[in-house]
Amino acid sequence: MRNRVAVLGVPMDLGAGRRGVDMGPSAIRYAGLQQELEQLGLAVTDHGDLEVRHASRLERGESPRLHYLAEVVRVNRELAQAVASLGQGGALPVVLGGDHSIGIGALAGASLLGRRVGLIWLDAHGDFNTDRTTPSGNIHGMALAAAVGRGHADLLAAWPDAPFVAEPDVWLIGARDLDLEERQAIRESGLNVATMTDLDRLRMQTVMEQALDALADVDHLHVSLDLDVIDPKEAPGVGTPVPGGITYREAHLAMELVAKSGRLGSLSVVEVNPILDDHNRTGQMAAGLIASALGKVIL
């Protein structure tokens, strides 16, 4: 793993149905992220935030099934270029969200850093809807589908090299809230999926070790951590909370195993919503999980 880290914020909430996650990058920084990482001996450069226009200044767009499409595409194009540039400069990119629509740009950038990308996507949701199946029109619920080349042509055309990752190289972990048509699409896909039922049965260590072993030969490993994968009793400040999630320690174990593998190429942490949080508990948790992914251990 590289000893240089480049932090980049994306204060995006346009892909979600609830405002507030645009403040996520600030909350994670306020929790002491840079100090946490520097205490690990890492050289940290914070590159600030990408510019994202506020919803009050935008039209939702003509399509009720792709809210704020133009701005979401613009921001993700810029994010992809930034992630690629930072990685090519020798740093490990850490992207702070923002809603999970930024997963598209983060993965597009990762795909420019290695021909074969492996993806571990920790999330309560599948994010595998398209404009044909979405019940909301919120693009954060389409990010994983777009990353594997599924979805509306206007969304995919923004990234000429899509798909960024092959379905068999995707591990979706922690899912427990899937829409009806989304569930069917996942069943028929080539994704590797460990639902909460699987985690209850097999435990986090087994699932993460299986994922990391399966992705041992990829050129670039990207981990996308949505804080709503954690039970809202422990992480209340998330954009779309769902009961029955993983525990605080299971989340740290997952990140510790990523660090132990030594293969992390880039990381995105999303959906922290300070409006719904309790004294920045979730922001602090996010900062701690990033530190675990980059090598922090208890002893």
20-40 tens-digit pLDDT: 999 999 999 999 999 999 999
Taking 90 as the threshold, does the pLDDT of residue 113 lie above it?
A: yes
Q: How far apart are the first and last CA of the chain?
A: 19
The range of the structural domain enclosing residue 52 comes to 4-293
123 is catalytic: yes
Look at residue 106 and tell me if it is in a domain.
yes
CB 270 within 8 A of CB 21: yes
pLDDT at 249: 98
Q: Given 22, 49, 99, 123, which residue is catalytic?
A: 123
- pTM, entire model: 0.97
Residue 226 annotated as catalytic: yes
Specify whether 100 is catalytic.
Answer: yes
For the chain, helix (H) and strand (E) counts, in that order, are: 11, 8
219 carries an active-site annotation:
no
In a domain, 195, yes or no: yes
- The answer to whether residue 299 is domain-embedded is no
Q: Is residue 153 part of a domain?
A: yes
Tell me the backbone φ, ψ of residue 188, rounded to 5 degrees.
-85, -5
Catalytic member of 36, 67, 71, 140: 140
Q: Is residue 298 part of a domain?
A: no
The model's pLDDT over 247-288, given as tens digits with 9 standing for 90+, comes to 999 999 999 999 999 999 999 999 999 999 999 999 999 999
**Residue (of 109, 94, 152) closest to 270 by Cα position:** 94
Give the active site residue among 49, 71, 127, 256.
127
Closest to 255 in 3D by CA, of 231, 280, 283, 221: 221
- For the domain that residue 26 is a member of, what is the CATH number? 3.40.800.10
In a domain, 121, yes or no: yes
Identify the active-site residue in 226, 250, 256, 277: 226
pLDDT at 15 over 90: yes
pLDDT in the model for residue 156? 87
Catalytic residue, candidates 22, 182, 228, 256: 228
The total number of structural domains in the chain stands at 1
Which of the following is catalytic: 67, 125, 152, 222? Answer: 125
pLDDT in the model for residue 63: 66
Q: Which of 208, 192, 200 is nearest to 252 (CA)?
A: 208
Q: Note whether residue 250 is domain-resident.
A: yes
**Catalytic site includes residue 177:** no
Given a cut of 60, is residue 62 above it in pLDDT?
no
Query: Annotated catalytic, 125?
Result: yes
Q: At what angle do helices 248-261 and 204-214 cross, to 10 degrees?
A: 30
Each residue's pLDDT tens digit, 117-159: 999 999 999 999 999 999 999 999 999 999 999 999 888 877 7
Q: Which of 22, 67, 100, 152 is catalytic?
A: 100
Q: Answer whether residue 119 is part of any domain.
A: yes
Task: Return the percentage of the chain with pLDDT > 90, whole number.
Answer: 89
